[in-house]
Each structure stands twice: as structure tokens, then as C-alpha cells.
Structure 1
């Protein structure tokens, strides 16, 4: 007997509830790191698709522990496996990078850590039914969709959902912490102030791009006492971006939500696999996938730039004392955020534009980084990691700066030199 739509809806709701927050003692940590791939001699030169496909073939032959993929614009991503400690996570990814970077350079390719491509406009280099459907879908919202797909890069930190019970490491507390602390992390690690060589007026242009996309799949779910219910409703009421097919395009009927797809069965009845895939097309700042994916941090410059946001985030989420301090520090930011969801609320907009020049975000960042520095030895962080976090704190956080400010300083200095040169002629 065919399953009735109401029964199917209840079945899929139960499935979502069972997988979105897998609670228990926080014991695993992961990181996903993206880089913009460019010509090693001329970063302003876009990479031809054939050259990128050749690089992908070479890199996938390397004995990597992390999962290596390429994004639509050719961004390279390394996704670690769940690690049992901060040290294990860092050591594993560092070892993989020690293989990837030389192989890329041997092919004349470089890897740059910027949250948004500073050189040229978005250009898709990967042809895939998913990306074809995604591009067509986001084109309804303007140019931001192509920019997100092809010109952005991030450091995504993955932490466990936490305990079922309330407390510093309870999943409800961690869910709220992620959405308030997320603005502080976005501001502290803002690293995308330019596009096509020009300042955008924001320190994290990447975050602005995300805020301009389909609100049904890129804004945070509404706050409430039950994160599971909020997430289940969010997923089922989100528009379907694509419907997978063996032949032909993956386009979905315009405006069709997953809940409506269940109830109508058109163009075909959805399956649990369709629901799981649908979740991968949702991009809120914090995405529950059993664990929590924190998706708001810009890609960082330097071979080890990704280590600092990973270490700081791990400390503030997984050390009970630091988690409690961080929650008390950022809780007052809820008043600034107001009722609008991230990243479109005033708190996140201030983080995107002013970063740590904003007094409230600066004060929160100083206090949170102090809590993280005290917690990291308790998590077994190495002297090198402690030194990296201390250096970042002194160079940026204590001074109300972020990596984007370095790029802006260099850009304005170069413009000044050009003006001086013209005046002297």
C-alpha cells in the first residue's frame, strides 16, 4: 500500500529530528578549509578549466587523510575527518597540506586565503548538474549567487552538538552561542575587503554576499527553546533547489518547498535520500549535521592561518569553563542582534562592515580570545598553536583590527604611492 503524504511527512520529520543534533559529550572536532586557486606567477590570471581538471587528477592521487574537493569556481577544499582532539585535527590537516601545496606549485598553481576573490569577477569552471541547477536558482536573486559559488572561500569549524541536558555544553546553549559568537568570529577573522581590485566598503565581503541570497536557505532558523523543531521546520519549508535525475537537468519547480513536495508528490515522490541531499543545499551560518558546522569565518592567509580560528573556536565550545565565559560574554549581543535572523540582523551587519572597529564586537572579541587562550592548554594545544593564537590576538584583536585591515592598508598605500609618483612627474 502506498505511503500517504501525511505519514511520509511524519516519517521524514522524525528522520530529521534524529540526525540534526546527535547529542553526547563533545569529543570530535573537524575543519573544512578552502583556498582560491590562482596562477602562481600571476594571481590575477583566471585558471583555465582544463588546467584545473588536470590538477584535480594529480591531487586525488596523493595519499591524503582529508577529503579533497573543488568548488564551482575552482576553489580547493580540504575537509578533515572527525578528530579526537585539536592536536590530532591540526596535525592531520597540516600533513595533508604538506603534500598538496608542493604538488600545486609544481603545476604552476598557488593557493590564496581570501574570503572573497580580490582579483576578478566570478567565473564557474566546473560543469555539474548540481552547479547548473544552483546557478540557475540563485540567478533569480541577482549576481550574489554566482559570487558565492565561484568567488568565496572559508574556514568552517565543525564541533559536536553537545549534551542533551542543559548546561555550558548543552546543545541548546551551544546553538545559541554559535549564532552570537559567530558574529564575533566573523569580525575577528574578516579577510575579504575587496572585489575586482576595489574596496567594497566591508571587511568581510563574503558575509555580505551570503546575506544577499535566498533567505529561505541562507538565513538562520528563527530562535526558540527547541533547536530541533526550529531546524526541522526550516528544512521542510525551504525551497527545493534541485531534484536529482539520471538524465537531463536537475531543475526544480519554482517556489516548491520540500514540505509541498512531500504533500504533492510532484514531479515525483521524494525519498529520504532526497531530503538528505536537500539539506546539503541549505547554507545558514550554522548548519546542524549531527554536529554543528560554523560557516561564517573567512579563509585566512598563510600556510597556517586556518589554525587560529580552529583553535579559538574549539576552545570556546569544548572547554566547559571557556564555553561558560564565552556565553556570558556574547549573551548581551542578543539585544543588538534583535529579532532578525543572522546574517541580516544589525549585529552581523556591523561585523561585516566594521569588524573589530565596532566597540561592542571589539570588547567581546578581546574577552573571548582571552578565555580561549586560557583554555587551550587544558585542551592540550601545542606551544606553536598557543604562540599563533597569542600573535593573532596581539596583532589584531587587541588593536581592534582584523586581517582585512592589512589588505586595505596595503591597497591605500599603493594608491598613495601612485599619486605621489604622478605629482613628482
Structure 2
């Protein structure tokens, strides 16, 4: 829950107060206990998956799915993508079982309408489709991102991901301490980009990339999607990064258009007090408009993984990430494996440093990333039985390792093979 201030969250705040608020809520430390996931999906026509789906059909689908009694939170993305967000779960299997049950219900509802969920990181079948959501948030977001090029509309309307949410870790140093988990997430994040790359681009600015979705995020505005420096206290560097990032919008009431200031950081907004004095609620909202590859929201939100193919594909990154962060032995193995990647990353922040760009462009064809992926997947496979993972989950991870990781391939490679034979998306 957001930290409370005397006088409520709708009164004007001072600079020391906003620094204290961000510093206090970004990392909630303690024993790693909870797992969560957010699954984004493209919605395709079952019979003609390479054809666009009209806004009217998408709206009917959203209404049908929205009437279901789901455990997860259902949201609609600006291009019509569907997202299921699990509740914080006390175990890996509680998280997976809850999402799997909801997905079964969602697929059945969509199937009755001739539609299907499709796991693909970037929809390149057509020019960017219409934005079907008219909420002021998305009007403002589009205006903001249009200032720096077309990547914002691509991100909003044509991308999908698997996001994994894990506890920040202990306050104290050590294998499960929040400082090391923060660093691990940024180095292992590049490995996840490469291993789970599933957004090939046959043409355009990302032609040949294994993760065009990652290319889109790389090309968004120059600070909002970047990681902060990793060479300081995580709370301090994130607080500075968050407050020195431009405000995307200033919300208005009564249905009025939201203001989209240009070149105004949150810190400057607090100091200047205009266009109106910011409140703690404005700070809460500002933090939701920051999109780094790892976002601290009390827990760690891993945002770099493309949506995955097949009915069970999404389970693999959720299970592998949970194993490599929360199983002590696997976490030690992963940290030793990724430490050497720090030199390749260099001083530039993710996702714009050489390591992350190599992961997005080449996937596990990059020999360093492939070697680390092999080590980490083996550690995850060994850890999953200790974590109580079901046979279905263990089989899905083992099959992914055999089909892709051990061969230096990723799901995008299979899609490129299909494109070479003139085939479109397969649902």
C-alpha cells in the first residue's frame, strides 16, 4: 500500500516528502515468499490468424471475458491485447495454477467468438492498428511518446509480454538480499531477453532482430525505459531516477483533457508548483508511468520477457525466474554465471547497453549469452522439484531447454524459419 502522509494523498507535497515516499516504498524487504505474473496476449482470429481483428469484435471479446469470474485481474491494452495479472501467490504453483485456471476460462469464451489468444512479443502482421481505448491516460501517453517517434504507438498497440513479479529480498546482504537480487535481475534480464526472444521482424527498423519488442522499448523516450545505475544503493539510485524523469502527464478531473508538459521532471514539478501543485497521488501515478526493464514496486517486476508461444509457454519464464531468484542453490549458480556479463554491459544502462542489444538482436546465438543460459536453465531444472513444481511445469521447462536453449535457439528462430517458407502466425 502507498505510504500515508498527514493530511492525505491529495495535498501538495514537498521535495523531501516525495524523496522519502519513493525511498520508502520501492523495496519492501523480507524473506522471499510471494510470486506473481502478468501475462499479455494478442487476440487473433482463430480461422484467419494473419488477418486483423476489427475493433468491434475485440470489444465484444473484452465484454465476454470481462463477465467471467476470474481470480486474476483482467485488463485491456490500448491495441486490444488482453492481460491477466495474478494475485501475489504464496508459492510458484499457486501462481501458475491460478493463472492456468483463468486462461482456460478466457480461451473458452474467446473460442465461442472465433477468437484465440496468441503468445507473440510484437505483432508485425500489419501497420499499427487503431487504439481502441479512449481513456485520458492513453490519449496523454500517445501524445507524449509521439514526440520521440513511432515506437510509443508500437509499444501500446502491438506488443505483449510475460512479466514476473518477485519479492525484493532481505534487507541484509547475502544471496537473497535485495541489493544482490537487484543486480542479478539486470544481468539475468539480458539472458531472459535472449532465451525467450519471440518477436521476430521480417522487415522494418528491427528486421532480423530476435526481439523486436525489445527494440521498441529501446527506442522509447530517453530515460523512462532505462535502468538506473547499478553501482549505488538501490533505493537511492531508484529514487533519484524516478524523480528526475519527465512527467508524462498531469491528470485532470471531470473528463477534461490531461496536460502533457514537455521537459518537466517530477522534481521540477514539485519545486515549481505548476501547472498545479503535485500531490502524493500524483507521485503514485508518475511511478506507474516508468517502464524500466526491472521496476521496483515494493517487489521486483521483471518486464523484459516476450510473450511466449503455445498454451504452456508462459509457464517457462515464470518458473525459471522464480527458481533462479528464490531457490538458494539456483540463485548462487545464476549469480556466478552472470557476473562475467557485467563487463559486456559496460556503463550504459539497460536496455541500451551492448549486452542487452546483443540479446535482442541475436538471441542465444550470442555465445556468451548462450553459455549463461545453459547454466541457468540447468540450475532451474534442478531447483523446480525442490520448489514443489508440478510434472507439467517441469516438463515444459525441460522441453524448452532441449528445444531452444541447448541448441542456441529461441522461439523467434522458429518463426523466422516459418517466414522463410511464406507461412504466417500459427495459433
Scaled by the length of structure 2, the TM-score of the pair is 0.94
1:254 to 231, 238, 262: 262
1:382 aligned partner: 390
Secondary structure of 1:311's match?
helix
Indicate if the aligned counterparts of 1:119 and 1:197 stay in contact, CA closer than 8 A.
no
1:238 aligned partner: 245
Q: Residues 196 and 249 from structure 1, CA distance in 2 versus in 1: closer, same or farther, beyond 3 angstroms?
A: farther
| 1:414 counterpart = 2:422 | yes
Indicate if the aligned counterparts of 1:70 and 1:77 stay in contact, CA closer than 8 A.
yes
| 1:39 counterpart = 2:51 | no
Q: Residues 198 and 162 from structure 1, CA distance in 2 versus in 1: closer, same or farther, beyond 3 angstroms?
A: closer
Deviation at 1:385, TM superposition (A): 1.0
Residue range with higher mean Cα deviation, 117-126 or 10-19: 117-126
Deviation at 1:48, TM superposition (A): 2.4
Deviation at 1:222, TM superposition (A): 1.3
- The equivalences for 1:11-410 within 5 A come to 11-123=17-129, 124-194=131-201, 200-246=207-253, 247-410=255-418
Q: Residues 6 and 414 from structure 1, CA distance in 2 versus in 1: closer, same or farther, beyond 3 angstroms?
A: closer
Deviation at 1:6, TM superposition (A): 11
Deviation at 1:200, TM superposition (A): 1.4
Structure 1, unpaired ranges of 5+? 416-425
CA distance in structure 1 between the partners assigned to 2:127 and 2:135 by the alignment:
20
CA distance in structure 2 between the partners assigned to 1:49 and 1:118 by the alignment:
17
Secondary structure of 1:176's match?
helix
| Cα deviations by residue, 1:80-116 (Å, 9 ceiling, x for unpaired) | 0000001111110000011000101111222111000
Deviation at 1:389, TM superposition (A): 0.7
CA distance in structure 2 between the partners assigned to 1:131 and 1:90 by the alignment:
30
CA distance in structure 1 between the partners assigned to 2:197 and 2:78 by the alignment:
22
CA distance in structure 1 between the partners assigned to 2:200 and 2:109 by the alignment:
29
Indicate if the aligned counterparts of 2:72 and 2:84 stay in contact, CA closer than 8 A.
yes
Indicate if the aligned counterparts of 2:13 and 2:278 stay in contact, CA closer than 8 A.
no
Indicate if the aligned counterparts of 2:12 and 2:279 stay in contact, CA closer than 8 A.
no
Scaled by the length of structure 1, the TM-score of the pair is 0.94
Q: Residues 114 and 353 from structure 1, CA distance in 2 versus in 1: closer, same or farther, beyond 3 angstroms?
A: same
Residue range with higher mean Cα deviation, 245-254 or 213-222: 245-254
Q: Residues 383 and 197 from structure 1, CA distance in 2 versus in 1: closer, same or farther, beyond 3 angstroms?
A: farther
CA distance in structure 2 between the partners assigned to 1:407 and 1:36 by the alignment:
16
CA distance in structure 2 between the partners assigned to 1:116 and 1:295 by the alignment:
14
CA distance in structure 2 between the partners assigned to 1:9 and 1:111 by the alignment:
45
Residue range with higher mean Cα deviation, 153-162 or 108-117: 108-117
Aligned length: 413
Q: Residues 51 and 338 from structure 1, CA distance in 2 versus in 1: closer, same or farther, beyond 3 angstroms?
A: same
Indicate if the aligned counterparts of 1:308 and 1:389 stay in contact, CA closer than 8 A.
yes
Deviation at 1:7, TM superposition (A): 7.0
Task: Judging by fraction of residues, say which structure has more helix.
Answer: 1
Q: Over aligned residue pairs, what C-alpha RMSD do you find?
A: 1.8
Indicate if the aligned counterparts of 1:66 and 1:81 stay in contact, CA closer than 8 A.
yes
| Cα deviations by residue, 1:182-239 (Å, 9 ceiling, x for unpaired) | 0001100000012679971100000011000112200101122300011101110010
Indicate if the aligned counterparts of 2:206 and 2:215 stay in contact, CA closer than 8 A.
no
Indicate if the aligned counterparts of 2:163 and 2:301 stay in contact, CA closer than 8 A.
yes
Deviation at 1:293, TM superposition (A): 0.4
1:423 aligned partner: none
Secondary structure of 1:18's match?
helix
CA distance in structure 2 between the partners assigned to 1:164 and 1:408 by the alignment:
44
Deviation at 1:53, TM superposition (A): 2.1
